[in-house]
Structure 1
Amino acid sequence: MKRTRGTIALAVGALIAALGLPATTAHADTTTPRIDLRVLVVSDGGPATDAIAAELETAGTPYTEVDLLRSDRPVIDGDFLADTADGTPRGRFQAVVLPNDNPFPADSTEMAALVDYEQAFAVPQVDAYTYARPEAGLQYPVYGGYSGSLDGVRAQVTPAGRAGPFGYLDGAVPFEDNSPTVGESYAYLSTPVAGADFTPYVDAAIPGQSARGSLVGEYRHDGRRELVVTFVYNQYQQQFRLLARGIVEWMTGGVHLGASHNYFAVHVDDVFAGDDRWDTELNCTPGDVDCPQGEGTPDPIRMTPADVDHATAWQDRQDFTLDLAYNGAGSVDHRQDNNGADPLADRFIAERAQFRWINHTYSHPFLGCEQDTTVVPWRCATNADGSTKWVGRNTISDEIATNRVWGQTNALPLENGELVTGEHSGLQVLPQQSADNPNLAPALADNGITWLGSDNSREPQQRQVGPATTVPRYPMNVFYNAGRAAEQVDEYNWIYTGRAQGGSGICEDHPDTSTCLPAPLDTATGYADHIVPLETRIGLGHVLANDPKPHFIHQSNLAEDRIAYPVLDGILDGYAGLFADSTPVVNLRQKDIGAELKRRAAWKAAVAAGQVTAHRVGDTVTVEAPAGVAVPATMPTGTSRAGSGFGSAYAGGLSGWTTSAGTPLTFDLPASATPPAATEESPGQSSATRSAPRTRVPAGVREPVPYTPEPADR
């Protein structure tokens, strides 16, 4: 028997009566309940519930976490889950996430309260990682199923999954296999219990059989809906990142605060300049500060007109736009040395509309302290009294202004408020410079700079520098001083091998902070076989994590062997093979990335301070937030606000930001947004009575493999 809206209301009335609330709710059978837009996450400290909580946190979706391991945690009972608001029955949570189908002791009153609540308010439950058993709508794995590793397995979204919450995917869900010696996944593959109302959304082949077993599926029973997940994961693994959006969309019915998109932007630094080349004999870069003064001969790498043509053709093929951080002096100096000729600049200027452009200062000087390069590593020069010598305000301001004028003279399409200083200089850089150059902020104000690029490996959080807000950028391990693959591998080997192997020893000194190598890579094959796949995986991981921060490389990487393209193609082609056309990569410029990060920070602060409330009554969503705070929301197609369409289409729904004026914001949902009904009865023992068995969590889930921190800007 299907549960109707009327029977839901009657159940709400029964629950409210059980709570002993005032008699004003006596007519609750005719009252549409209010459901707060907040998720309840009940955690046992495992990686699966932590991963779902992290997804909600990143998206800006409010949630309340109850840690079952804490003795001072609240008791989950009727009073905790529901009450009344202005005489209307109120459910405090729109969804419930549990570690498994029943993490409580047998016959637990807390599990019984959750069952009553889910039935009364038609609230769905996610079983973050549970054993396949009849209580979850599945056969025990011993009956023709499978328990074990799925490392390297290619799971698949079923037709029902593509027609439902996972329609933003093309179909494939590859499981990671990053290490041959560490288990990185574990799953229970099984088929539904005979007669159960169970719909698999993601499945995989059961080893040795023609049948496929469910990994993610919906189980409807006893007036409840459960999303049953039978594989373990952490928040970084690709298989979870692919499915995270669908899990949230399923539990919220596509109606929730917060939003998630897949972003990718690439900044190319030092355009028009030349980048000094790594010396494979000296293991340093002549002309730069990592080589002792006078050692080696500088051999700069600089793009050619053919490289510009390749870049424009690549952009057309990938439907992607690069951001070029340029140094005008690079062209001026080249013309002075070549009788006024600079074919590279001429070609770039002719194709200027094909790219986005960022001021990277005129001559790329170091704009922090004055550097003493008589020692390696360099140090800050000091005055007689021991104080730091700083590059002056006028010098910084002139570098910004002169480069802007050069760009405007050549009609580059600039955003004058954007800036990336050479090497992110002027900002603090440890260990040599522990504070910003005090002259930086005034110089930024002199030039109206509002968005300042920073190095995410040093400062992952946005901050204010005078009038500017930083935009952290991910450095890619495609080195600025390498134009050829063999040079890149040689330097990579030197950095990431031990001293006995001729390396820098950084892995021995800091074993937890490097992508260490057990042995040097082959310079002929190491780039394609090791570095490209690893950098692709890291970059694609950022794309799938709702992370808008840009990545940066250098113009040298688009020259000679054009070593950046295999990584960029790996990310974009890999993405295209996983996602439907409704879910494109979002490619923003620096100022828009900065604004997105800044809005998110303000929103999360308001949520954390308890200044945001939101609820749904029938087909109307109401949100209250402080004036001036932009509210992110995700709604179904057809949603309107104030009589107009809401948001932009993405991943099969609508999402966008709406700035609060301090008065309630209302959203009108389409009638199709009503959650589906659950069945009243289904075979199998009630999960409210028997707690779930323990499940296996391999080492590679507890600690992501391999450990791949962001490289520093070198």
Structure 2
Amino acid sequence: MKRTIRTALALGALTAALGLQAGPAQADTTAPRIDLRVLVVSDGGPATDAIAAELDAAGTPYTEVDLTSSTRPAIDAGFLADTVDGRPRARFQAVVLPNDNPFTAGSAEMAALASYEQTYAIPQVDAYTYARPQAGLQVPTSGGYSGSIDGIQAQVTDAGKAGPFGYLKGTVPFEDNSPSVGESYAYLSTPAPGADFTPYVQAPIPGSSRQGSLVGEYRHDGRRELVVTFVYNQYQEQFRLLSRGIVEWMTGGVHLGASRNYFAVHVDDVFGADDRWDTELNCTPGDVDCTNSSVTPSPIRMTPADVDYATAWQNSHHFTLDLLYNGAGSVDQRADNNGVDQLADKLIADRNQFRWVNHTYTHAFLGCEQDTTVVPWKCRTNADGSTKWVGRATIDYEIAANRAWGQVAGLPLDASELVTGEHSGLRILPQQPDDNPNLAPALLDNGVKWLGSDNSRDPEQRQVGPAATVSRYPMNVFYNAGRASEETDEYNWLYTSRAQGGSGICEDNPATTTCLPAPLDTGTGFQDYIVPLETRIALGHVLSDDPKPHFIHQSNLAEDRIAYPVLNGVLDGYDALFAADTPLVNLRMKDIGTELQRRAAWTSAVHAGQITTYRIGDTVTVQAPGGTYVTATLPTGTTLGGGAFGTAYAGQTSGWASSSGTALTFTLPSSAAAPAVTAHTGTAATAPAPRAKVPAGVTRQVPYTPES
């Protein structure tokens, strides 16, 4: 049931307690206005930075106050609340502190925060705090534990599953990426005697049979705190798993912004063949990195049996691959085999099992004209020194001919999507610092609106003529490997020192990579080292609310089918962690592009202060510029203008709503009670929290591996 301020007397007490100017008496049904914005009070530590990063990624507005800044505003009654049109307004729906009390003894700021939280029922997150009675827990020396928890398996309690962490199945693994670096530190403890404390996530206390809280809710003095007693940064898997629950707890499931877990996999060069890595020459005959013309290339190409495997794999995992095709590959195959191409026949027969994307007809390089007589290649130049560019007519042909081939084959295409071979035409450093000027006009000629780019060199979405880029993550399952032993041999070449028989690239680029301590065993290294590594990296993207697709090549679905162990690791690993109401979101390229485009516009509007949003009772009002799509996460059953809003995900409803410039009004279901507010006479703040230990592995991201 909606709670309200009962009488003018209670309202008078409220305004006096907050130091507000007294206003006219309000009707009994008047509820306070709660602005949907989070206050993040930071001490520069990794935990508050991680929560701020989660809010940024989701698109949830927040105000950050840096305690280390001499010019920061004072956190007092006027900073926290005021009145708007005679109605009391809480300027923040939640408060995030570095710990349960980061201020000095007797702090007026902590007292103001405590009073504010009581008055408006505002929850507080203690991002990383020492376990102590002031936070509802016994000190660790009373049968608890202080120390490293690298590699432990924490568990969500029944209360956590019934509450803010219900999207998880139960297990919360903690990373242990380096045996020489401390990556996690925690204070494991049990609730203090008499404390109203509910653990949500806990782990075994070493040397005992008891469980100690890592995340729990402490209720006291009319306030609610989410008490976190382990330290983390924004990259660690344990935080990525729990971050959604932290945000949903502090916002009560009512906030701007949305977060989902995405995974899409593009398979490049379908119908074509990929050149094979030569383990003796340490290069790829037939490709530009191999100048030895005496060696005959040994191409890798899928077979009909590989197609059967792919469709069966998809069906068993409820997942759809995006096949990026080059029609000339099949034309050449038929020309060389008396009109026969069993692979194309099979793929075309099974075409509706997959999504399809134009990858150009011959996979030609569409940037500058390449001089491949040297390694690395360079751009050819005209007599005046200017760059020789592949012409517009050639680019037009590559796009249009492949589209026409696919349409004749009956492939279910979307003509607005395109990924050029090697992302060519787009800038590539150091050889080609600019886009081919003929690319944008050719995209316009062919109605292309979404253009794939390589995230490792072009990560931000940008416009290329009429098209917006969609950055794709390259997976370290190499295009020129169909067998695990080839993949491992090339991996060793790239990531070992010259003294160990490698290329030494890892020695030449210490800022971005580190050499392997020793070459991997070519018989076991792929399964034992590369697969777990690539799984962790890809799953890290999935858990970061990042919709960008990953890409591999058709060669990885052939021969040893080396892509599947990694893909299985991601999908099976995800299923082991998340409940059924939190599925992976598997979007096609244009939908990913649209998501990225909307996010960029929304983030720009938020940072420009163009979004006004607040809750009064069971109504949420959002004012945004016309043409902006508004993103929100709200309780199931929320309506917008009388119609349903969003789609179900992780126990909530979330989605986008188009703004015409007039206010959007969301009506929450009756089950989503407004926060209770109470009159009070103030509460003494607790003593400052002891400084908690932060190991070096949390102050920076610990690399998964040499190349991450």
Length-normalised TM-score, structure 2 = 0.97
Q: Which residue of 1 aligns with 2:62?
A: 63
Is 2:222 aligned against 1:223? yes
**Structure 1 pair 224–18 and aligned structure 2 pair: CA distance change class (3 A):** closer
Q: Distance in 1 between matches of 2:639 and 2:41?
A: 33
Q: CA deviation at 1:14?
A: 2.9
Instruction: Name the CA shift for 1:212/1:25 in 2 (closer, same or farther; >3 Å).
Output: farther
Whole-Å separation in 2 of the counterparts to 1:667 and 1:633: 10
2:687 to 672, 690, 703: 690
1:584-609 residue CA offsets vs partner (Å, 9 max, x unmatched)? 00000000000000000000001111
The alpha-carbon deviation at position 671 of structure 1 amounts to 2.0
Give the secondary structure class of the aligned counterpart of 1:673.
coil
Aligned to 1:419: 418
The match for 1:326 is 325
Mapped pair 1:544 → 2:559: no
RMSD: 1.9
Residues 328 and 406 in structure 1, CA contact (< 8 A), matched pair in contact too: yes
Q: Residue 666 of structure 1 aligns with which residue?
A: 665
Measured against aligned partners, the alpha-carbon deviations of 1:310-337 in whole angstroms (never above 9, x if no partner) come to: 0000000100000000000000000000
Deviation, structure 1 residue 208: 1.3
State the SS of the aligned residue for 1:553. strand
Q: Which residue of 1 aligns with 2:515?
A: 516
Aligned mates of 2:330, 2:651 — CA distance in 1 = 46
Q: CA deviation at 1:277?
A: 0.4
Distance verdict in 2 for CA 1:359–1:46, change over 3 Å? same
Tell me, in whole angstroms, the C-alpha distance in 1 between the residues paired with 2:65 and 2:430.
40
SS in 2 for 1:671: coil
Range with bigger deviation, 702-711 or 150-159: 702-711
Shift of 1:5: 4.2
Secondary structure at the aligned position of 2:577 is classed as coil
Aligned equivalents of 1:95, 1:8: Cα separation in 2: 25
Q: Is the 8 A contact 2:119 2:677 kept in 1?
A: no
Letter aligned with residue 170 of structure 2: G
2:701 aligns with 704
Aligned residue runs from structure 1 range 152-301, under 5 A: 152-292=151-291, 294-301=293-300
Residue 533 of structure 1 aligns to a residue whose secondary structure is helix
Aligned to 1:32, what secondary structure does the other structure show? coil
Structure 2 gaps of 5+ residues are none
- CA distance 1:7–1:373, change in 2 (3 Å): same
Structure 1 residues 40-80: Cα deviation after superposition (integer angstroms, max 9, x where no partner): 00000000000000000000000000000111111100111
Change (3 A) 1:605 1:591: same
How has the CA–CA distance of structure 1 residues 346 and 9 changed in structure 2, closer, same or farther, with 3 Å as cutoff?
A: farther
Partner of 2:86: 87
Contact 2:123–2:250 (Cα < 8 Å) also in 1: yes
Matched letter for residue 579 of structure 2: A
What's the offset of the Cα at 1:6? 3.9
Change (3 A) 1:335 1:136: same
Q: Give the Cα separation in 2 of the matches to 1:479 and 1:375.
A: 22
Asked if structure 2 preserves the Cα contact closer than 8 Å seen for 1:253 and 1:675, the reply is no
Match of 1:24 in 2: 23
Q: Give, in whole Å, the separation in 2 of the partners of 1:427 and 1:128.
A: 42
Secondary structure at 2:414's aligned position in 1? strand
Residue 421 of structure 1 aligns with an amino acid whose one-letter code is T
Deviations 1:191-210 (A, max 9, x none): 11122111111111111111
Q: Distance between the aligned counterparts of 1:14 and 1:407, measured in 2?
A: 72
Q: Match of 2:616?
A: 617
Give secondary structure in 2 for the equivalent of 1:347.
helix
1:184/1:701 contact within 8 Å kept: yes
Alignment match, 2:396: 397
Q: Does the 8 Å CA contact 1:359/1:400 hold for their aligned counterparts?
A: yes
Mapped partners of 2:46, 2:582: distance in 1:
27
Deviations 1:520-570 (A, max 9, x none): 100001001110000000000000000000000000000000000000000
Partner of 2:499: 500
Query: Counterpart of 1:381?
Result: 380
- Match runs of 1:326-475 below 5 Å: 326-475=325-474
The answer as to whether partners of 1:39 and 1:94 remain within 8 angstroms in 2 is yes
Alignment of 1:577-656 (within 5 A): 577-656=576-655
Residue 500 of structure 1 deviates from its aligned partner by: 1.1
How much has 1:185 moved relative to structure 2?
0.4
The 8 Å contact of residues 148 and 186 in structure 1, kept in 2 or not, is answered as: yes
Q: CA deviation at 1:18?
A: 4.6
1: CA distance between counterparts of 2:269 and 2:177? 34
**Matched AA of 1:536:** T
1:402 maps to a residue whose letter is A
Aligned to 1:240, the other structure's residue is in SS state helix
Distance in 1, Cα, partners of 2:167 & 2:686 = 36
- Is the Cα contact below 8 Å between 1:91 and 1:121 reproduced in 2? yes
Output the CA distance in 2 between the equivalents of 1:8 and 1:658: 37
Q: Compute the displacement of 1:513 (Å).
A: 1.1
CA contact 2:514–2:706 (8 Å) conserved in 1: yes
Shift, 1:3, TM fit: 13
| Gap change, CA 1:710 and 1:543, over 3 Å in 2 | farther
> Is the CA contact (8 Å cut-off) linking 2:12 and 2:22 kept in structure 1?
no
Secondary structure at the aligned position of 1:17 is classed as: helix
Give me the whole-angstrom Cα distance separating, in 2, the residues matched to 1:402 and 1:616.
54
Task: Return the alpha-carbon distance in structure 1 between the equivalents of residues 648 and 483 of structure 2.
Answer: 41
Q: Give CA-to-partner distance per residue, 1:285-311, whole Å, 9 cap, x none.
A: 010001115152211000000000000
Cα displacement (A) at 1:138: 0.4
> Partner of 1:225: helix, strand, or coil?
strand
Indicate the SS of the match to 2:54: helix
The residue type equivalent to 1:255 in the other structure is: V
What residue identity is the alignment partner of 2:404? V
Following superposition, the deviation at residue 17 of structure 1 comes to 2.8
Deviation, 1:22, is 3.8
Does the alignment pair 1:124 with 2:123? yes
1:239 aligns to what SS in structure 2?
helix
- Could you tell me how far 1:503 is from its partner in structure 2? 1.2
Compared with structure 1, are the counterparts of its residues 515 and 488 closer, same or farther at alpha carbon in structure 2 (3 Å cutoff)? farther
Q: State the SS of the aligned residue for 2:307.
A: helix
- Quote the offset at 1:710 in angstroms: 7.5
Matched, 1:141 2:140: yes
How far 1:385 sits from its partner (Å)? 1.3
Task: Kindly provide the amino acid, as one letter, of the partner of residue 702 in structure 2.
Answer: V
Q: Tell me the secondary structure at the aligned position of residue 416 of structure 2.
A: strand
Where do 5+ consecutive residues of structure 1 fail to align? none
SS, match of residue 100 in structure 1: coil
Matches of 1:3 and 1:194 in 2, distance apart?
A: 33
Q: Secondary structure at the match of 1:155?
A: strand
Deviations 1:123-175 (A, max 9, x none): 00000000000000000011111111111111000000000000000010011
Which secondary structure does the structure 2 equivalent of 1:700 belong to?
Answer: helix
Residue 4 and residue 354 in structure 1: after superposition, are their counterparts in 2 closer, same or farther (change >3 A)? closer
Give 1:514 shift: 2.2
Q: 1:259 to 1:559 in 2, by over 3 A?
A: same
Residue type at the aligned position of 1:589: R
Aligned partners of 1:223 and 1:678 also within 8 Å: no
The residue type paired with residue 380 of structure 1 is C
**Quick check: 667-676 or 499-508, which moved more?**
667-676
Rounded Cα–Cα distance in structure 2 between residues aligned with 1:23 and 1:306:
78
Is the 2:261–2:547 Cα contact (8 Å) retained in structure 1? yes
For the residues of structure 2 that align with 1:58 and 1:209, how far apart are their CA atoms?
A: 39
Distance (Å, rounded) in 2 between the aligned partners of 1:486 and 1:7: 74
